[in-house]
Structure 1
Amino acid sequence: MSEPYGEPEGLESVRKAVTHSQSPAPEAAPRKRAQGLAPELAAGPAPRPAELAALQRTMGNAAVTRRLQRQPDPGVRDEARRHAAEPTVHGEWGTFRDMMTRAGFPDDVTDVAWQLVLGGIAEQGQLNDEAMAKFTERQEQRDHRASNSWYQELVKVVGDYLEIDTPTLALWSGGREVSDYSRTKGHTPLEATPFGGVVDKLTLTSDWLLKTPMWNVLSKAFVSRARGPVHIFLRAYNPDSVLIAQEVPQLRVVMALNPAVKLVWHPVYAADDGKLMEVTKSLELASDASYPTRDECVQVLYDYLRLLHDPANAHSRRAYADMSSRLAANGNPQ
């Protein structure tokens, strides 16, 4: 991040609060985990934790009021600043707190993570504007948007809660149902991790561009945790997607350090009944078909879409259209 928009002063308070709160307290009662809510959280309006209120005063005044209100923007951005300055008035604070409780998060992590999420949303509009004004390359724009200090600090707080409950990670492209499909195959996508599963169920803001960089930062941290094969499910191929432009390159770095990490590619097609299947080398649909390289996977997927896709199949109409437009843009005959 450039010098005028360096790390907000409030983030130092967050780190101090987390460090302090992680020190053992002799009288502290253990926080209840997944077996239901703690009694004090079971009913009534969401309370304002004392620690959250202290963080709010520091981060709201020092970081939000002074830093983000330099460029007053109406609408969603203005609402995001108000929520960052007064986080417990956000309509989803109680839902977030309760889901974090059920997922087993400590209170201090919940409080600080909420501050960082809302602070990141409030600052993201400025970074998005800068990215478009300062850079012409798509990846440079994406990198600048993802330089949000609040989201970077969020990863430090919740990084240990991006663990997977299956032996292998999953990445995907082509619609949320592909993520669900990867889960049924025994792999864990980001949104099925403890923290990813919480924020995936929240709206947070109506402007997707303010929260997309948070997911990009989380996904980079997620793939960095790979320790074995990573299964990639492709229903559509876009070289400019986060999957291809960011996640896979990050995995290449991990692979160079750990030979146990390898990529397993799956071409996915939605049949007439909507059921997701995988495409074999003989262009048949099967329950499993994997390839060691991206090019093999994309070739098989494109061949099936070109030669065997039924135009009446609405479930795969978008994948076919995406493929056709990409081939046309590259000068390939249809």
Structure 2
Amino acid sequence: MRDVQVTAAAGVGRRVERGAEAAPLHGIAALQRAAGNAAVTRWIQRAAEPPQAGREREYAMAPTEHGEWSDFCSMMREAGVADDVVDDAWQLVLGGLADQGQVNAEAVRLEGVQERRDHAASNTWFWDLVKLVGNHLEIKTPTLALWSGGAAVSDHAWAKGHTPLERTRFGRVLDRLVVTPDWDLKLPMWSVVSKAFVSRATGPVHIFLRAYDPESVLVLQEVPQLRVIQQMNPNVTLHWHPVYTQADGTLREVSPDLELVDDASYASRDLCVAALYQYLLRVHDRGNAQGEHAYRAMSADLAANGNPQD
């Protein structure tokens, strides 16, 4: 068993007791190493503030008290992440969640939709997080995958031989954690991690759609980022796949002649979305509950543009 070491810093200790499987306690020294002096200043300011609603701020002050701390450690170690990186990454996750409420409040006061989204994803804790764990977002397959329409679409992309964010080492860890029940706090973290993931594209990118949502992270953030990357690297090409869920839950892709096939790749978003919309309008069985969500999402989108379908 290794010795226990405690270093005091502004009243906070860091204990290391690996041999006994005890989790390290974060302190200001660890936080400074992970995110610099500005993060330490915010940490000290938070300690002096009165308690607020929600537990995110409490956990940022005492990270190892979070119920998923041990699970995070185990999964990160299984992913091959060094212990000191695990410690710092957890501090950055919880510190970011604690500050995200304020960042969101600032974003709401901005006028443009994209401007609000960009500001919500400007949380420096999360950007420090991807700097720390960026190498653990690497893909093992030749091609990167993006998707929209539910986790089953991500699984479909993986089965086809492409790597979505959730199948990277760090993405898999985040995907298995709850961390906070407040999605408004968690979504910006995923947005930042997604940007870091997309920035790794160096070749073909396969994009899978079960339903087209013009307000999705895929459409508003990921694809525009890929367009910028394409200007610098012509090897980055986009391949679009319209996906339909059959009554038995299996996913197939929609061909140009509206047949369900194993693989249907389109060179543009518009061709892909047109095939998906046409299939849902003309072929979809309203008795197929598995495909009904996509049908209704499509109908709502068309109705919003003056083309009601029901």
Fold shared, TM-score > 0.5 on shorter chain: yes
Alpha-carbon distance, 1:209 to partner: 0.9
- Within 1, Cα distance between the matches of 2:238 and 2:47? 41
- Within 2, Cα distance between the matches of 1:142 and 1:230? 24
1:208 to 183, 197, 203: 183
Counterpart in 2 of 1:24?
Answer: none
Alpha-carbon distance, 1:60 to partner: 8.3
Counterpart contact for 1:83–1:90, Cα < 8 Å = yes
One-letter amino acid of the structure 2 residue matched with residue 118 of structure 1? L
CA 52–111 in structure 1, closer or farther in 2 if over 3 Å, else same: farther
- Within 2, Cα distance between the matches of 1:48 and 1:298? 49
Counterpart in 1 of 2:156?
Answer: 181
1:88 to 42, 64, 77: 64
Structure 1: stretches of 5+ with no match in the other structure: 1-38
Alpha-carbon distance, 1:280 to partner: 0.3
Alpha-carbon distance, 1:208 to partner: 1.0
Counterpart in 1 of 2:287?
Answer: 312
Counterpart in 2 of 1:117?
Answer: 93
Counterpart contact for 2:145–2:164, Cα < 8 Å = yes
Counterpart in 2 of 1:14?
Answer: none
CA 198–308 in structure 1, closer or farther in 2 if over 3 Å, else same: same
Give the TM-score of the pair, scaled to structure 1. Answer: 0.82
- Within 1, Cα distance between the matches of 2:47 and 2:288? 48
CA-atom RMSD, angstroms?
2.2
1:73 to 38, 52, 74: 52
Asked if residue 196 in structure 1 is aligned to residue 171 in structure 2, the reply is yes
**SS in structure 1 of the partner of residue 239 of structure 2:** strand
Counterpart contact for 1:230–1:263, Cα < 8 Å = yes
CA 318–69 in structure 1, closer or farther in 2 if over 3 Å, else same: farther
Counterpart contact for 2:300–2:308, Cα < 8 Å = no
CA deviation profile, 1:83-137 (whole Å, cap 9, x unmatched): 111111111111111111111001121111111000000000011111112x122
Counterpart contact for 2:207–2:238, Cα < 8 Å = yes
Alpha-carbon distance, 1:274 to partner: 1.1
One-letter amino acid of the structure 2 residue matched with residue 271 of structure 1? Q
Alpha-carbon distance, 1:282 to partner: 0.6
Greater relative contact order structure (CA < 8 Å, 6+ sep):
1
Give the TM-score of the pair, scaled to structure 2. Answer: 0.88
2:42 to 59, 63, 67: 63
Identity %: 57
- Within 1, Cα distance between the matches of 2:72 and 2:58? 18
Counterpart contact for 2:63–2:90, Cα < 8 Å = yes
Counterpart in 2 of 1:31?
Answer: none
Asked if residue 48 in structure 1 is aligned to residue 24 in structure 2, the reply is yes
**SS in structure 2 of the partner of residue 200 of structure 1:** helix
- Within 1, Cα distance between the matches of 2:301 and 2:52? 36
CA deviation profile, 1:221-247 (whole Å, cap 9, x unmatched): 111110110000000001111000000
Alpha-carbon distance, 1:73 to partner: 3.5
Please list, as runs of the form range in 1=range in 2, the aligned pairs for 1:145-160 lying within 5 A after superposition: 145-160=120-135
Counterpart in 2 of 1:235?
Answer: 210
CA 61–147 in structure 1, closer or farther in 2 if over 3 Å, else same: closer
Greater share of strand residues, 1 or 2? Answer: 2
One-letter amino acid of the structure 2 residue matched with residue 237 of structure 1? Y
